[in-house]
Amino acid sequence: MTTPGIFKIQAVDGLARCGQYWTASGSFETPNFMPVGTQATVKGLTPERLKEIGTQIILSNTYHLYLRPGEKLIQSLGGLHKFMNWDRPILTDSGGFQVFSLAKLRKITDDGVRFQSHIDGQIQILTPEKVVQIQEALGVDIMMTLDECLGYPATQLAAKKSLELTLKWAERASAARSKKETLAFGIVQGGMFADLRKYAASEISKIPFDGYAIGGVSVGEPLELMREITKISAENLPDDKIKYLMGVGTPIDIVESVALGVDLFDCVMPTRCARFGRLFTETGHINIRNSKYKEDSLGIDPECDCYTCRNYSRAYLAHLLRANEVLYIELASLHNLRFYQRLVWRIREAIKVGYFKKFADEFVRKQKKDEEC
Amino acid sequence: MTTPGIFKIQAVDGLARCGQYWTASGSFETPNFMPVGTQATVKGLTPERLKEIGTQIILSNTYHLYLRPGEKLIQSLGGLHKFMNWDRPILTDSGGFQVFSLAKLRKITDDGVRFQSHIDGQIQILTPEKVVQIQEALGVDIMMTLDECLGYPATQLAAKKSLELTLKWAERASAARSKKETLAFGIVQGGMFADLRKYAASEISKIPFDGYAIGGVSVGEPLELMREITKISAENLPDDKIKYLMGVGTPIDIVESVALGVDLFDCVMPTRCARFGRLFTETGHINIRNSKYKEDSLGIDPECDCYTCRNYSRAYLAHLLRANEVLYIELASLHNLRFYQRLVWRIREAIKVGYFKKFADEFVRKQKKDEEC
């Protein structure tokens, strides 16, 4: 078995790269997209379904699993893979983002973050060390270090202070690691300031992580700014390491970020949009709630090969959604996630044959209706 | 292909029978249990899942499909089988029960029933003829005739009047049939009065239906009374025809009703109970919400062979339910429906070898914790 943490780049096309990354639960190809399984389940889909659509790695969440059912319980039952019946790689987000988006009464100190659980109101404390311990107990393949996720907009001073804290926490997280098979990624913060991002990327690169992530984007900033910050962050990270853009994004975001050198993505968009009725197609999304689909005998996307498109009409999906039927969630999520998996597969194939720019231009042109949901 | 409507009894054990019934979409074995797919979907399960657990026939609902999305839409899309991607037999309930349980401002006349839709408040009229037309348009394999479903308790006079109306409607439904491949079952009513049931059964038997159903039980009456009414209804129906007990019941109900000669069942119990946390096992149900299952590494039922039991712990299911995760519904419904399918399979095998009474006694003894949810 190849050592966990090895990243082999097999082809480069402009800044875009195609490669393979090894973990203790096997490898995944890059660029890749991780479906989000926040609470130890990708909403509505079994692990078999995820494999059927080509999923190689999923993301779960430290904050949520720590609060419920608790990492010790999961550990006692054999770890997160066994608990949720998923034997391929798992990456867990550190919980930094969730502490800032979900928890109440949070108070950040140099030591860590104190907050009130959004589930039962209990006071909890997370430190960089504790977040490492939780993820090691969960037995995940890749852990993220605790970071402070800044809102948008923020002043340069606040961004500077925040990235310094994140860097300090990253040092402590690195020092706290006790299992070498649990890989760890450091996170670049720095708000929307190019010079801070450049500094943060070069500083985090000095800590020996198994990969590096770009955090704190897609927090409300304009699209052009997100691209610029992604670019400066990515180009200041070491090229021989995997680069992960956290919480991004639309199909167009993925294509355009791969063009900036990003290797790995996660986003709730395909599953969340599915539940709201937004379904992705080659020519942009459709909203299945639109009354024009009520009698439409076509599948969601004529170009899609997923189970849903092979077997069900838009009219049936429109009916299930109106009737508030739970099967809708499975069928719609399956389609949207298959769309993302087909997208990263096509991106990889395009990079391998030096055709990425043409593929990207053509894809973006056709996705003219794409927008956030 | 064997002609739709043919019922071959292969083995008899006491009053219990084991046989096979043919429809235009193929045959099913009896005794059998139909999962309920009210709105053209068995809540949370794909057709492949239903087949995986041995489902041979499902039930859907005329009232619901008529109101939404409408039988004409379904017909224009190729019929109910294609719409919901289910190619095995489908039986539809007539809507009689739903008019009485869901609709508002209902008014019954000799002609039919006038009511207000529970979805949009529109005034609707269903007649015996229209209910036949709707089900023929849906393209189902077996249709139920419109009946009046009496509440419990009811006076003998009301029960008499109601069964007479149901008989008249059955005559009209029979006369209204235009497609011989759409089989039709008549329904025995008569409240909780043995003599009325006997009369209703012998009268409905005079109308040439492809099978006969016992309706109006499990409406709040004591268990002993339900058994008595089932018995008198079943024994006064022709033995060479299939006998279907509508809306029943618990695992024990099924075993004890097979002993009275019943061949076919449907009930929301396995799927509805699953959603509420009640999961069936060989020794009775468990309530997965009970805190003792939070850390339980066992599967739901050590004797079950379903996907859920093969892959997930009670602790994981307890977590999914607490976390309000939609995957819980699929996993729990799958298990409960597999329990019912294994039960009818075991009943059939027991009848074939003349072992049914012993099987039934043993099963009921072990199910000591069984109760309605």
Distance CA A260, CA A239 (A): 12
Query: What is the token pair recorded at B188?
Result: 């025995």
Q: CB neighbours (10 Å) of residue B303?
A: 12
Q: Is A309 part of any domain?
A: yes
Q: Is A145 part of any domain?
A: yes
Average pLDDT estimate for A214-234 = 96
Low-confidence ranges of chain B (pLDDT < 50): 370-373
Distance CA A31, CA B215 (A): 59
Determine the residue of chain A that is closest to B87 in CA distance. Answer: A311
* Contact check, Cβ <8 Å, A319/B45: no
Task: Tell me the HSE value of A200 on the side-chain side, using a 13 A CA sphere.
Answer: 36
Which residues form the domain of A11? Answer: 7-267
- Asked which of A251, A267, A283 is the last residue of a domain, the reply is A267
Same domain, B153 and B287: no
- Residue ranges of E strands in A101-242: 104-108, 113-116, 123-126, 142-144, 183-188, 211-214
Same domain, B243 and B303: no
Distance CA B118, CA B99 (A): 9
Distance CA B286, CA B277 (A): 8
Per cent of chain A over pLDDT 90 is: 94
- H/E element, A45: none
Task: Give φ, ψ of B288 to 5 degrees.
Answer: -65, -10
Q: Is B312 part of any domain?
A: yes
Same domain, A372 and A321: yes
Per cent of chain A over pLDDT 70 is: 99
Specify the pLDDT at position B373.
Answer: 44
Q: Are strands A58-61 and A90-93 parallel, antiparallel or unpaired?
A: parallel
Q: Is B232 part of any domain?
A: yes
Q: Are A236 and A190 in contact (CB under 8 A)?
A: no
Local confidence band at A60 (pLDDT 50, 70, 90 cut-offs): very high
Task: Give φ, ψ of A274 to 5 degrees.
Answer: -55, -50
* Contact check, Cβ <8 Å, B83/A315: yes
Distance CA B156, CA B58 (A): 34
The residues, ordered by sequence, that sit 6+ positions from B209 with a Cβ below 8 Å of its Cβ are: B145, B170, B174, B184, B185, B186, B241
DSSP letter, residue A13? E
Specify the pLDDT at position A275.
Answer: 97
Distance CA B349, CA A28 (A): 48
B315 touches chain A (CB under 8 A): yes
Quick one: how many helices (H) and strands (E) in chain A? Answer: 15, 16
Q: Average model confidence (pLDDT) for chain A? A: 96
Q: Are A327 and B43 in contact (CB under 8 A)?
A: yes
B73 touches chain A (CB under 8 A): yes
Return the axis-axis angle of helices B156-176 and B128-138, rounded to nearest 10°. Answer: 50
Query: What is the token pair recorded at B113?
Result: 């029933």
- pLDDT of A369 over the 80 cut: no
> Which of the pair, A95 or B274, is modelled with greater confidence?
B274
- pLDDT of A193 over the 90 cut: yes
User: DSSP letter string over B311-343?
Assistant: H--HHHHHHHHHTT-THHHHHHHHHHHHHHHHH
Distance CA A34, CA A269 (A): 11
Same domain, A163 and A57: yes
The residues, ordered by sequence, that sit 6+ positions from B288 with a Cβ below 8 Å of its Cβ are: B277, B278, B279, B300, B314, B317, B318, B321, B332
Same domain, A261 and A131: yes
**Nearest by Cα to A306 from A341, A350, A356, A254:** A341
Q: Are B351 and B30 in contact (CB under 8 A)?
A: no
Which of the following is catalytic: A13, A93, A147, A210? A93
Same domain, A17 and A150: yes
Same domain, A260 and A124: yes
B326 Cα distance to chain centroid: 25
Query: What is the token pair recorded at A91?
Result: 């990456």
CATH code for the domain in which residue A216 is found = 3.20.20.105
Cis check for the bond before A31: say yes or no (omega within 30 of 0).
yes
Known catalytic residue at A210 = no
Which amino acid, B95? G
- Asked which of B267, B282, B312 is the last residue of a domain, the reply is B267
The dihedral sign for the CA sequence A71, A74, A78, A82: negative
Which tens digit of pLDDT belongs to each residue from A29-58?
Answer: 999 999 999 999 999 999 999 999 999 999
Q: How far is B27 from chain A (nearest CA, A)?
A: 23
Distance CA B186, CA B203 (A): 10
SS3 (DSSP) at B236: coil
C-alpha torsion B46→B48→B50→B55, nearest 10? 150
Distance CA B111, CA B127 (A): 6
SS3 (DSSP) at A77: coil
> What length does chain B have?
373
Specify the pLDDT at position B236.
Answer: 98
Which of the following is catalytic: B93, B210, B253, B263? B93
DSSP letter, residue A368? T
- pLDDT of A93 over the 90 cut: yes
Q: Which of A69, A297, A327 sits opposite B319 (nearest CB)?
A: A69
Distance CA B72, CA B93 (A): 18
Determine the residue of chain A that is closest to B326 in CA distance. Answer: A44
Q: Are B116 and B166 in contact (CB under 8 A)?
A: no
Q: Cβ contacts (< 8 Å) between B43 and chain A: which residues? A: 325-327
B59 touches chain A (CB under 8 A): no
Distance CA B213, CA B225 (A): 18
Average pLDDT estimate for A25-32 = 98
Same domain, B149 and B31: yes
* Contact check, Cβ <8 Å, A329/B325: no
Same domain, B368 and B347: yes
SS3 (DSSP) at A32: strand
Average pLDDT estimate for A134-146 = 98
Which of the following is catalytic: A147, A210, A263, A266? A266
- Residue ranges of E strands in A5-112: 7-13, 16-23, 26-30, 32-34, 58-61, 90-93, 104-108
Q: Cβ contacts (< 8 Å) between A319 and chain B: which residues? A: 39-40, 68-69, 83
Distance CA A10, CA A21 (A): 11
N- to C-terminal Cα separation, chain A: 41
Same domain, B355 and B307: yes
**Nearest by Cα to B141 from B12, B1, B343:** B1
Specify the pLDDT at position A197.
Answer: 98
Distance CA B115, CA B102 (A): 10
- Asked which of B267, B294, B326 is the last residue of a domain, the reply is B267
A155 touches chain B (CB under 8 A): no
Known catalytic residue at B266 = yes
Q: Is B2 part of any domain?
A: no
Same domain, B252 and B354: no
B320 touches chain A (CB under 8 A): yes
Which tens digit of pLDDT belongs to each residue from A316-331?
Answer: 999 999 999 999 999 9
A83 touches chain B (CB under 8 A): yes
Which amino acid, B231? K
Q: Give per-residue burial for B265-282: e unless 16+ CB within 10 Å, then b.
A: bbbebbbebbbebbbbbe
Number of domains in chain B: 2
Distance CA A35, CA A39 (A): 12
How many Cβ contacts (< 8 angstroms) between chains A and B?
A: 102
Q: Is A2 part of any domain?
A: no
Same domain, A232 and A297: no
Specify the pLDDT at position B369.
Answer: 61
Q: Is A185 part of any domain?
A: yes
Which tens digit of pLDDT belongs to each residue from A260-277?
Answer: 999 999 999 999 999 999
Q: Is A1 part of any domain?
A: no
Q: Which residue has the tokens 């298990």?
A: B335
Q: Are A297 and A13 in contact (CB under 8 A)?
A: no
